[in-house]
Structure formats: structure tokens, C-alpha cells
């Protein structure tokens, strides 16, 4: 019930392409869904986040789509760049600071 399932594990996209990372959850009590980006040797950094009463949120080239009935949410990166190559984690939070993370997606953007 506390799991967040993330796919794919790894993804290779050409520069300018639109990588899509998907996450699914079971616990309907989750009320906050952030995405984190992690570069090697660094801690995760918040990229974008959404509440379940919103179906889509855009910040720059990053978009979260949220489907409450399906208990799924996804990250789209528009006009991807080699600098976007990193590991991406979806997460879910319920009422406090306890983040439940997906397993991560290693994204590579080829020039």
C-alpha cells in the first residue's frame, strides 16, 4: 500500500525528444506528488510537484500529468537536452514529510 511503482528503469532519448516517466500508487491517502532529479554525487533536488486536485502542472520544460482515478502520474520533459541526463524519482507523501519514492529512472539524452 505504501509503494510507488516507477517505469521505465532506464530511458535513452535523442536531444529534442520527449521522455516520459510513469508512476503508479495504491494508497489513496497520498496527497502530494513531487518529482526529484538526481545527478551523480549529489542529493536529489525537487523538480516539480502536484496535488491530486490538479490534472496537469507545467514548469518550464517539465510537465506532470496526474490521473487520480487511475492512481497514476507521469513526468514529461519537452525539448530534452543532454544536461537533463540524470536519475529521476517520483515520490508520494501523506500529510507529513515522509516521502515514499519510486525506484528511479536513469535518463540519458543523446546529443
Interface stretch with another protein, choices 13-21, 36-44, 57-65, 75-83 (CB under 8 A): 36-44
Interface stretch with another protein, choices 12-20, 59-67, 76-84, 90-98 (CB under 8 A): 90-98
Residue 35 Cα to chain centre, angstroms: 4
Q: Which residues contact 61 (CB under 8 A, 6 or more apart)?
A: 77, 78, 79, 80
- The correct pick among 89, 105, 107, 109 for binding another protein (CB under 8 A) is 89
Give, in order, the Cα–Cα distances in Å from 3 to each of 16, 25, 33, 101: 32, 6, 13, 8
List residues near another protein by CB under 8 A.
31-32, 34, 36, 41-46, 49, 51, 89, 91, 93-104
Amino acid at each position: 500500500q505504501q509503494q510507488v511503482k516507477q517505469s521505465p528503469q532506464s530511458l535513452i532519448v535523442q536531444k529534442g525528444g520527449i521522455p516520459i516517466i510513469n508512476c503508479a500508487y495504491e494508497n489513496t491517502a497520498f496527497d502530494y506528488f513531487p518529482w526529484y532529479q538526481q545527478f551523480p554525487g549529489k542529493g536529489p533536488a525537487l523538480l516539480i510537484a502536484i496535488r491530486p486536485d490538479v490534472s496537469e502542472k507545467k514548469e518550464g520544460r517539465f510537465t506532470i500529468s496526474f490521473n487520480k482515478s487511475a492512481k497514476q502520474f507521469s513526468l514529461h520533459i519537452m525539448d530534452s537536452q543532454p544536461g537533463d541526463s540524470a536519475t529521476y524519482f517520483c515520490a508520494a507523501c501523506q500529510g507529513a514529510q515522509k516521502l515514499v519514492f519510486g525506484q528511479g529512472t536513469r535518463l540519458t539524452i543523446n546529443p
